[in-house]
Structure 1
Amino acid sequence: MVEQTVISDKILILSDKPDRQVRQLRRAFGKLGAETIFCPLADIAFDTRYPSGIAIPMLDGALPAGVIVRSISGGSFEAITRRLGILHALTRLGVPVWNSAKAIERCVDKSTTTFLLAAAGVPTPETFAVEGPANARTLVKREVPHGLLVLKPLFGSQGRGIRLIRSIDDLPDPDEVDNVYYLQRLVLRAGPPYRDYRIFVSNGEILGMMGRCADGWITNIARGAKAEPVVGPLRPKLAELALAAAAAVGTDFAGIDIVQGCEGNLLVLEVNSMPAWTGLQSVVPVRVADCIAQAMVALLSPDVKERPAA
Structure 2
Amino acid sequence: MANLYGWIVYNGNLITDKFIDYVSWFQQAAQKQNITVDAIPNNRLLVTTTSKGPAITGFGNKKPDFVHFADKDLHLARQLEALNIPVFNNSRAIELCDNKAYMYQRLSEKGVPIPETIIAPKIYNGLPLQDQSHIDLVIEELGFPLIIKEAYGSFGKQVYWVENQEELTKRVTQLTGTEFVFQKPVHSSLGKDTRLNLVGNQVVTSMMRTSDSDFRANVTAGGKTMPYTPTAEEIDLAIKSAKAVDCDFAGVDLLFGEDGPILCEVNSNPHLRSIFECTGVDVADEMIHYIRKAVQEN
- When normalised by structure 1's length, the TM-score is 0.82
**CA RMSD, aligned part only?**
2.4
Residue 63 of structure 1: aligned partner: 63
Q: 1:141 aligns with which of 118, 139, 142?
A: 139
Residue 39 of structure 1: aligned partner: 40
Opposite residue 284 of structure 2, the aligned amino acid is: A
Q: 1:223 aligns with which of 209, 221, 224?
A: 221
Structure 1 segment 1-310 matched on structure 2, within 5 A = 9-16=4-11, 17=15, 19-47=20-48, 53-56=55-58, 60-72=60-72, 83-131=73-121, 132=123, 133=129, 134-145=132-143, 148-171=145-168, 172-176=171-175, 178-189=177-188, 194-215=191-212, 216-231=214-229, 234-261=230-257, 263-302=258-297
The 3-state SS of whatever aligns with 2:290 is helix
Deviations 1:128-162 (A, max 9, x none): 112245254123331243x5321011111111121
Q: Report the CA distance between 1:280 and its aligned residue.
A: 1.0
Looking at structure 2, the residues matched to 281 and 187 of structure 1 have their Cα atoms a distance apart, in angstroms, of 27
Residue 80 of structure 1: aligned partner: none
Looking at structure 2, the residues matched to 220 and 101 of structure 1 have their Cα atoms a distance apart, in angstroms, of 25
Looking at structure 1, the residues matched to 133 and 100 of structure 2 have their Cα atoms a distance apart, in angstroms, of 18
Looking at structure 1, the residues matched to 180 and 49 of structure 2 have their Cα atoms a distance apart, in angstroms, of 40
Opposite residue 221 of structure 1, the aligned amino acid is: V
Out of 286-295 and 61-70, give the one that drifted further: 61-70
Deviations 1:215-236 (A, max 9, x none): 12111111110111113xx432
Looking at structure 2, the residues matched to 197 and 98 of structure 1 have their Cα atoms a distance apart, in angstroms, of 24
Out of 234-243 and 119-128, give the one that drifted further: 234-243
The 3-state SS of whatever aligns with 1:223 is coil
Q: Report the CA distance between 1:43 and its aligned residue.
A: 2.3
Opposite residue 98 of structure 1, the aligned amino acid is: F
Number of aligned residues: 278
Q: Cα 1:291–1:116, aligned 2, differ >3 Å: closer, same or farther? A: same
Q: Cα 1:284–1:144, aligned 2, differ >3 Å: closer, same or farther? A: same
Q: Cα 1:291–1:167, aligned 2, differ >3 Å: closer, same or farther? A: same
Q: Cα 1:190–1:9, aligned 2, differ >3 Å: closer, same or farther? A: closer
Looking at structure 2, the residues matched to 95 and 199 of structure 1 have their Cα atoms a distance apart, in angstroms, of 28
The 3-state SS of whatever aligns with 1:271 is strand
Deviations 1:217-269 (A, max 9, x none): 111111110111113xx4322211100000111111111111003x2421101
Q: Cα 1:114–1:47, aligned 2, differ >3 Å: closer, same or farther? A: closer
User: Is the CA contact 1:208–1:286 (under 8 Å) kept in the aligned structure 2?
Assistant: yes
Deviations 1:53-76 (A, max 9, x none): 1134xx52443211111234xxxx
Looking at structure 2, the residues matched to 201 and 246 of structure 1 have their Cα atoms a distance apart, in angstroms, of 8
Looking at structure 2, the residues matched to 204 and 170 of structure 1 have their Cα atoms a distance apart, in angstroms, of 41
Looking at structure 2, the residues matched to 62 and 22 of structure 1 have their Cα atoms a distance apart, in angstroms, of 20
Looking at structure 2, the residues matched to 190 and 173 of structure 1 have their Cα atoms a distance apart, in angstroms, of 25
Q: List alignment gaps of at least 5 residues for structure 1.
A: 1-7, 73-82, 304-310
Looking at structure 2, the residues matched to 265 and 301 of structure 1 have their Cα atoms a distance apart, in angstroms, of 39
Looking at structure 1, the residues matched to 142 and 239 of structure 2 have their Cα atoms a distance apart, in angstroms, of 32
Q: Report the CA distance between 1:272 and its aligned residue.
A: 0.7
Looking at structure 2, the residues matched to 66 and 177 of structure 1 have their Cα atoms a distance apart, in angstroms, of 40
Out of 118-127 and 180-189, give the one that drifted further: 180-189
User: Is the CA contact 2:4–2:292 (under 8 Å) kept in the aligned structure 1?
Assistant: no
Looking at structure 2, the residues matched to 246 and 225 of structure 1 have their Cα atoms a distance apart, in angstroms, of 24
Opposite residue 229 of structure 1, the aligned amino acid is: P
Residue identity over aligned pairs, in percent, reads 24
User: Is the CA contact 1:21–1:289 (under 8 Å) kept in the aligned structure 2?
Assistant: no
